[in-house]
């Protein structure tokens, strides 16, 4: 794992970007990032023909249908970003994002980092984690008539899960560290039943299982009606792990566990780092929009949360006030990478992950660069930053025209 200093992201990237752009303009007659010109000259006025524009860099991105991505498209942010940077994102929404990546059909994929044991079976592609998106937001839930209060109360019971990896692995870690219990398929203490994520809560409601490890968006109907009761006061696996296992406060104390993350093929990544840097900056703008307007985004894109009524929208908006699983920044800090690798090591030691599964590689170069630029421009640092520093940081943090509306 590459190691760099942890990042302390600016409280308001957009405000800082505006100030830097203004400072850059005051010190020079130029500045800013120019858009690609598509203007044509009038024949007969002696103008020289323009050189043909360079072919855009193409990023093949595979991800599930996603509310932040849809906001980036609908707000015009993606279109403005592509035009100003001469980069084109070819996005796909395959049923299996991992298969698209492993098969060479995607350069970057958004996938749960605890699915990395799969990569042991696909050695021809070397994954590197370049940015984060969510924490694990799975909850442990039971019917409202159940008397269970903790995982320990469900020993020998049937529990529905969506896979043997991802959230199930993190709950396995919690079970072992906190209770000394074996939470895995074929384990001694629980009977785990694997079903499609959209059907996990349904099995509880039908009485086929006693509990479920489920996500709010696939169980919001039953949660909003009060028929499904989350244990641990609605805390997610990531929150339980960070607060009760590590004693931190989630990402505020940099002890949270990363769930969905951007993973790139290492060879492609090395050849396209400027484009990757730009992609992370685009996603950072989407995260900023979510932070400001999450309730409105839920209301505007209810289909991404399996929501069917205003009551469900209201329930999820309230839940997100206390249990937001979307991270505040795409950039991964050194502490977050170390926390994840610690958890991964415990999973291997417990036999929950194959012994030949190497820990994932984190590339923290993008976080390091942004942190270094902010340090140079910090009041009292003794340096106002060069014009190049101002241009680089304003480009990293600026909002493209047409983006970040509302």
pLDDT tens, 312-335?
999 999 999 999 999 999 999 888
Average pLDDT over residues 218-222: 94
Average pLDDT over residues 37-46: 33
More confident residue, 401 or 146: 146
DSSP annotation of 350 reads T
Domains along the chain? Answer: 55-135+257-363 (3.40.190.10), 139-235 (3.40.190.10)
Give the HSE-up count for residue 100: Cα atoms under 13 Å, Cβ half-sphere: 21
Q: What is the pLDDT of residues 146-159, one digit of tens each?
A: 999 999 999 999 99
Q: How high is the pLDDT of residue 103?
A: 87
Q: Give the integer Cα–Cα distance in Å for 234 and 323.
A: 8
DSSP 152-198: GGGTT-EEEES-SSTHHHHHHHHIIIII----STT-SS-EEEE--GG
DSSP annotation of 380 reads T
Q: What is the pLDDT of residues 334-370, one digit of tens each?
A: 888 888 888 888 888 888 887 877 777 899 988 755 5
For the CA atoms of 285, 287, 290, 292, the dihedral, rounded to the nearest 10 degrees, stands at: -70
- Alpha-carbon 108 to chain mean position: 13
Q: Rounded to two decimals, what is the model's pTM?
A: 0.76
Average pLDDT over residues 167-178: 91
Terminal-to-terminal C-alpha distance of the chain: 39
Give the HSE-up count for residue 296: Cα atoms under 13 Å, Cβ half-sphere: 8
Residue 396 scores a pLDDT above 60:
no
């Amino acid at each position: 794992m590459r190691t760099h200093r942890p990042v302390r992201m600016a409280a308001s990237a957009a405000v800082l970007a505006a100030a830097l752009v203004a400072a850059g303009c005051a010190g020079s007659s130029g500045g800013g990032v120019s858009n690609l010109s598509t203007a044509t000259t009038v024949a007969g006025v002696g103008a020289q023909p323009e050189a043909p524009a360079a072919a855009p860099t193409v990023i093949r991105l595979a991800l599930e249908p996603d509310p932040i991505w849809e906001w980036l498209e609908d707000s015009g942010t993606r279109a403005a970003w592509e035009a100003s940077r001469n980069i084109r994102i070819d996005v796909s929404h395959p049923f299996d994002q991992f298969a698209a990546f492993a098969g060479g059909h995607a350069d970057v994929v958004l996938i749960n980092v605890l699915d990395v044991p799969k990569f042991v079976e696909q050695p021809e592609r070397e994954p590197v984690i370049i940015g984060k998106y969510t924490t694990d937001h799975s909850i442990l839930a039971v019917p409202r008539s159940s008397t269970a209060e903790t995982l320990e109360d469900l020993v020998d019971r049937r529990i529905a899960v969506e896979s043997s990896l991802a959230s199930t692995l993190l709950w396995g870690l919690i079970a072992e560290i906190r209770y000394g219990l074996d939470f895995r398929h074929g384990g001694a203490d629980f009977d785990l039943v694997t079903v499609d994520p959209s059907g996990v809560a349904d099995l509880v409601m039908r009485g086929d299982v006693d509990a479920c490890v489920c996500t709010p968006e696939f169980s919001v109907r039953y949660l909003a009606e009060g028929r499904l009761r989350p244990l641990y006061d609605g805390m997610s696996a990531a929150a339980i792990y960070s607060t009760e296992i590590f004693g931190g406060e989630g990402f505020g104390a940099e002890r949270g566990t990363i769930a969905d993350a951007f993973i790139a093929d290492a060879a492609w990544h090395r050849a396209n780092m400027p484009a990757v840097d730009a992609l992370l900056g685009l996603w950072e703008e989407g995260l900023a929009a979510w932070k400001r307007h999450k309730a409105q985004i839920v209301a505007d894109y209810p289909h991404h949360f399996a929501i069917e009524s205003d009551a469900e929208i209201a329930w999820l908006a309230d839940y997100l006030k206390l249990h937001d699983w979307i991270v505040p920044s795409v950039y991964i800090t050194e502490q977050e990478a170390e926390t994840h690798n610690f958890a991964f090591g415990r999973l291997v030691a417990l036999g929950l992950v194959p012994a030949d599964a190497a820990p994932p590689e984190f590339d923290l170069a993008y976080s390091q660069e942004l942190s270094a630029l902010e340090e140079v421009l910090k009041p009292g640092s003794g340096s106002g930053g060069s014009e190049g520093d101002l241009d680089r940081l304003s480009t990293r943090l600026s909002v493209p025209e047409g983006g970040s509306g509302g």
